[in-house]
Structure formats: C-alpha cells, structure tokens
Amino acid sequence: MPVMRIMRRRFWRYALGLMLILSGLFLALDYFMPLPDPERMRSVIVLSDNRTPLRAFADEQGVWRYPADLEAISPLYIDALLTYEDRWFYYHFGINPFSLMRAAWQWVRNGEVISGGSTLTMQVARILDPHARTIPGKARQMFRALQLEWHYSKDEILNFYLNLAPYGGPIEGVQTASYAYLRKPALKLSHAEAALLAVLPQAPSYLRPDRHPERARRYRDKVLRRMHTLGDWSQKTVDDALMEPVSQSALRQPMMAPLFAQRMKGVAQAQAKARLITELDAGLQWTVENVLRTRLGLLPPEASAAVLVMENKTGAVKAYAGSADFFDAQRAGQVDMVQAQRSPGSTLKPFLYGMALDKGLIHEESLLSDAPLSLQGYAPKNFANNYQGAVSVRSALQQSLNVPAVDLLQRLNPNVFDARLRHGGISLSYPTNEQPNLSLILGGAGTSLEQLVQGFSALARGGMSIKPRFTADDERIERRLLSPEASWVIGDILRGLPTPSGFAAGRLNVAWKTGTSYGFRDAWAVGYNQRYTVGVWTGRPDGTPLPGRYGGRASGPILFDVFQALPAPRDSLRRPESVQKQTICWPLGRRLHDTPTQHCHQKKQAWLIDDVAPPTWRNQVHADWSAGLQTYWVNPATGLRVTATCNTPQREKRQVARWPLEVWPWLSEAMKARMRLPDFDKSCPRQVLITHSTDLQIEQFNDSTVLKWPQQGQNLAVDLQAQGGQGEHTWLVDGLPVGQVTAGQALRYQFERPGQYELTVLDSNANADRVQIRVVP
C-alpha cells in the first residue's frame, strides 16, 4: 500500500513537472513565435447606413473581404457551420483529441484521409500561418491553435473564421461570398444558402458555384442531410431546402457610389478601419444613379453629371454621384465632379440678395433698375442680352438678371460678400493674383457642388449652413450665413420659380436656383425643401463649352427627378413672426401709409423684415438720375409752372414722384404722363432759354438710317441732336448714358465699331424718343 501511494505521488509530481515544462515551453514559444495578427490581412469596404456594401477595395494581394461581426451573420449559417465542421467548438481548447484520433485511425485503416480532425480554431491557425501538410506542419498548426485559444475568446476566433475563410478566387469571408455569389447580405440567408456557404471553404475552387453549380449543390445537400440526421433542422425544412437550386451567377463586386466610396477609402485607411459605415442611403443612391442612367441619353456624348443629396437636419449625405457613369471613359466618369472647382454661374445670387436684406439695403419688392450699367469699367449684360427697365427684387432673382445683381454687389462690397460666403462654407477660388470683384456674382470665381449644397442648406435651416457629413463620426459644423428672416424671404422667392416641364411644384415644395457659367461650360440646379438640399451639376469635366446647355434645361429636370424620389416633406418652412406682408409704393419704395397717394404710382405686396422698408436706391453713377421727389412751383390761378423767383402772389410749392432716369425708356406713356410737369406760365417767364415745342424728337436719324464706316484708320463721329422737349437732354446709346446737353444743343459721339445701335434721348420732363440705326463696314 505505501508503495502504491508513493508511485501515485511520483506520477502526479512528474505530471505536474511535465505540465510546468510544457507550459513554460509554450509561453517561450508564444513569446518568440508571436501569433500573426488576424487583422493584418485587411481590405477596405465602404458601407451604407444600413450596412449595404457600396464598394470594396482589395488588399495588397488582391483579396476581397467584407468584414462582418457575428451580429451581421445569419444564425442559420452559424448553426450549419458548427454542426458540420466543429460541433464541440465551444468546449475544446483549440484541439479536439478525439477528432484527431478518429482521423488518424481512418488514415491508418484506409491508407488515405477520410475525414479531417481540424477544429475551426485549427483552420483559422492554418489561414493565419499557412503550412505544409506534414507532421511538423500539423504540429505547428496545433501550436497556433493553442495560441489563438490563449489570446482570444471563442467568439473572436469564430469571427476570424467568418472573415478569413476562403470561398474561391479572390473571395474571403462569408459576407463577401454571400454578396458575390448570392447578391444578398449574410444576415438574410435561407437554409439552403447557409448550408452552401458552410461547405464551400472545404474545397473553395472545386466547389465554386459560379463555375460548378451541380457539384456545389451535391455538397450542399450533404450538409443539409447531416443537419437533419443530427436533429438540428426538421425533415420538412431540409426537404424544402433541397429543392432550392444553386444559381450560377457571375462573380461580381458591388459598385455603388464608386467615387464616393473611393473618397471614403482614404478616410478608412487614415483611421485604420477595414470597414467604414457611412451615412449614405443605399436605396436613395440607387435611385439617383438610375435617374442619371435615364437622363444620360439626353446629355451630349462627352458630358457628365453629378448629384449630391444632403439631409438638412443632420448634414448627412444620403446620395453622392460624382459622375454620370463611372465606367464611361468618354465622359471622364472617374472624375469626381462633386469636389471639382467650377464656375458657379448665377447660383450665388440668392446669398447676395439675402445679405442685402439683412443689411437693410432692400426689401422683397424694392425697385431695381435693369438697364445698361457700367461700374469701374465693368459693363454686365443679361443672359438673354436684353433689359426690362424697372424690376423688383423678386423678379430680378427669379429671372436671374445680371445688371441688378452687379449693382447690388457694388453696394454691398465684393470683399464683404466673399468673406460672408467663406464663413458660411462657400470658399471661392480666383485666378492667380485676382481678388474678389464684381464678376464673381456672375460666375467669375470657382467653387464646388459640395460647397454650394452646404451654402443652400442655410436657406433651409433658418440661415445656418451645415457642412456635409459622410459618416456618423464626422464633426457637426454649422455656420451662420443669413438671418432666419432673410433666408425665409429668399426661399419664398425661389419657391416661385417655375418648375421644369412635366413637374408639379406644389407637392414637392421645392425652392431652387439655376446657374450657367460663361460659355455654357457648367449648368447648375440647386434646390431644397424642409428635409433635403439637392445639388446637380452637368457639363464636360474638361471644361469644353456645351452651347445651349443652361442650368434650367440641362440640370433642372435631374434635380426634380431626384426630389420626386425623396420622401415628401410634411410641413413647409415656418415664416418668422418678424416677417410680415405690407403694401409698398413705387417709385419711392416706401410703405403705402408713409407715401402720399399722388406719389404712389404702383402698389406692390412685399414681405418686410421688422416692418422696415428701405427707399429705392440712388443711382451710383449719376445721383440726379435717382428716384425721388422733384419740387416745383405753380401759379394757383392758372395751375401753370413758375420759377422759384417769380413774384406771382401765393405761389404754391408742389412735388412729383420721379422714377429712376435710367428706366424711363421702358415706362409706359401713362406712367411718363404722371411725371410730366405743367407748362410754364407765360406771365412769369423762365430765366433760361427753352424750346417752344414740348414734342421731343431726334433729328437727322430715323429707323431706316444707315451710316457707312469710314476708311481704315478713321473714326465715325456724329452729332446727336434733338428738337423739342424741356430742360436738359440726356443721350443714351444702347441704353448706356453717353452725355447730357442743354435742349437745342448737339452732343458729339464717336462709334467704336460697325453694328446695330439704339439711340435714346430723354428730357427733364420724362419725354423720350428712340431710333434704331445701322453702321455698316
């Protein structure tokens, strides 16, 4: 008895010593032979907000992996995998001795491998550290399996298998295989699909369903039958699964929002992430790309398009199409036009008018002059190359008139406008050595679609812009661009813009603005409602002009196609209480109750901010041309005009409201009649020379006049003279003022080149005459 006790003690002592030696050996080997990092083999996948793959990027070896955790994999797959491959996974220590002994016995008995003895942990070990199929290689594999169990939990090891298991060709990981072979996420697998993906890693090239569907089906059915034999799945479930075919679909990687995903790849790599979840909405992205595919046939062969959709509340980008067709080289489909610097055309005008509203320069129905203008040598022209005379702020913005916008920018100051835009998220770029100038409001600077969308978001968010956010981790950056009042008034104006043919404005409730850069190089349409801001650009990425492709025609329909696909807003943008409707009067621009009846020539309904109605601007070039009140005196006995020095008893002082002189050629005869002063009373003669006729008429020229350009090196100069009228004669050539003379005198004018010219003369009593002449070479 004592001998047996001594032997047992020695056995346990030797066993403990052996365990300590083996443990020490294991720890030493673990230190000197560290386990390869399971995360070292990573590709990058960019996902939508609901985890739909947008685009995957292979690793350095060209392998595709869509990283996924256990929560993203169907429980049916996990069940089939563990049942078929390693039923005791959660109970062994990385090596299953019973499975190894069974496999070894079958090998000795049959002379070949009948079944493997590897656990899932050992399979992961072989993936991380490939080895030869020899006894030393098997020993190395088992050591690596022990290392895995030592350093990681069972769920972590299982997750390594889910992401690293081979599935044929460049495909690794069950999520990658599910999308590549089945076109669906691994969370939505059927019983048959789960069994198929569970068996593929046994012989990935031999069983690839895209090449060998029948062979893959036979092995899948083997798994299904075992699931029933072992009592995991019912007979009916297995029978139904056996009827499901194996689709021989071509291996295909996801390619949604490719340029956006390419941009996000850099973000993922900078953050050392293999999987980047973005804010993009996969369904909306597909809709936007489908809109572009539908509209592609209407674009010129080398034109492209870009669309950006942003959620106003959060700034989350929900759709991002950087080009019309990523794979179309003729359209430069791999150039991201969301980020490209382009001329914005007239798309900046809403911000100009909004800032002028905030500064108190204008109200919604202020009288502006759409007439030829020259400021600092810069003479803008309208897109249609015509003029309308007196226009309101609302009309000028809706029609995108250039002259009133340039006039307003000069008053606001281009540097101030540029700085305010920059603060709000629109950073304009200029040619080398150029500074902000008057041309920037007509597209004389550069910006991007992304920045325009950020700027227009301010109009939808009470004047506060928000920077587009691509992931949930992106910082929320908001900047004040306009006041809530100004942004609402501008939005009300832009909602009144006619929609493209075939679209109903009421349901969509979209405020929008178009823009066309010089030479038809860029066509823009940017719009918003309460929930979304959408920007569209069309044109050629290389900047080649596309004549006739302007914003409303080329980009407007795409914009409204996108808005039709978006959820309709429940409410409209709420009007601030400080914005109220008032009646104002032209030409003075004051409120009705502040304007005597005789001075209110036209009534307008205008939204006023804080009940402030700034008067009509003074002319920046000729102050005496401005709208205002003209004072005169009359003889009350005759009602005729007299001079201020006349000794007529009880001389009465009177006033008449005058329109800006530059808009007189476009006024109706009835409106001019309201400004005409009475004739002078002959009993109290004027002390200046006046003409006897009040009929103003241009001499020498009429509408059939043709002048011959002189020989080379000489100039064509003419004397402009008119008869009749009263007071000073003001002359305009093509709407631009060229001089002023006393009635009866001539003005010397020199033509610069042959062409069609319009000559206009105005007197101080609102009379006008106009003729068209031609100067031929």
Cα–Cα–Cα angle for 306, 308, 313, rounded to 5 degrees: 170
Query: Tokens for 272?
Result: 């050392």
Which position among 43, 118, 346, 366 bears the catalytic label?
A: 346
The DSSP result for 311-338, as a single string, is ETTT-BEEEEESSS-TT-GGGTTTS-TT
**Element containing residue 7 per DSSP (H, E):** helix 2-32
> Using N-to-C axis directions, what is the helix angle for 484-495 and 449-460, rounded to 10°?
110
The 3 state secondary structure assigned to 443-510 is CCCEECHHHHHHHHHHHHCCCEEECCECCCCCCCCEEECCCHHHHHHHHHHHHCCCCCCCCCHHHHCC
Is the bond leading into 576 cis (omega within 30 degrees of zero)? no
Question: Would residue 429 show up in a list of annotated catalytic residues for this protein?
Answer: no
- Residue 602 β-bridge partners: 586
Name the region of 628 (left: φ>0; alpha: ψ -120 to 50; beta: rest).
left
Cα 492 to Cα 6: distance, rounded to the nearest angstrom: 100
| Choice among 43, 48, 74, 85 that is catalytic | 85
Could you tell me if 482 and 458 are in contact, meaning their C-beta atoms sit under 8 angstroms apart? yes
**CA 414, CA 435: separation in Å to the nearest integer?**
9
Strands 768-776 and 706-708: parallel
Among residues 714, 710, 741, 708, the alpha carbon closest in space to that of 727 is found at 741
Distance CA 433, CA 456 (A): 28
* Catalytic annotation present for 156: no
Structure tokens at 682: 């002959």
- The SS3 of residue 588 is coil
Whether the CA torsion 648, 651, 656, 662 is positive or negative: it is positive
Number of helices (H), then strands (E), belonging to the chain: the values are 22, 28
SS3 call for 618? coil
With vertex at residue 381, the alpha carbon angle to CA 375 and CA 384, rounded to the nearest 5 degrees, is 165
Q: Would you give the distance in Å from CA 643 to the centre of its chain?
A: 63
713: left (phi over 0), alpha (psi -120 to 50) or beta: left
HSE-CB of 246 using CA atoms within 13 angstroms: 22
Q: Which two tokens stand for residue 11?
A: 């056995």
Instruction: Give the separation between CA 174 and CA 160, rounded to whole angstroms.
Output: 11
Nearest CA to 44 among 317, 288, 340, 278?
A: 278
Helix (H) or strand (E) holding 214: helix 213-229
Order of all β-strands in the sheet with 736-742: 706-708, 768-776, 755-762, 728-733, 736-742
Say what the alpha-carbon torsion angle 340, 297, 287, 182 is, to the nearest 10 degrees: -110
Q: Token pair for residue 215?
A: 């062979």
| Look-up of token digits 């050992």 | 122
Catalytically active residues are 85, 346
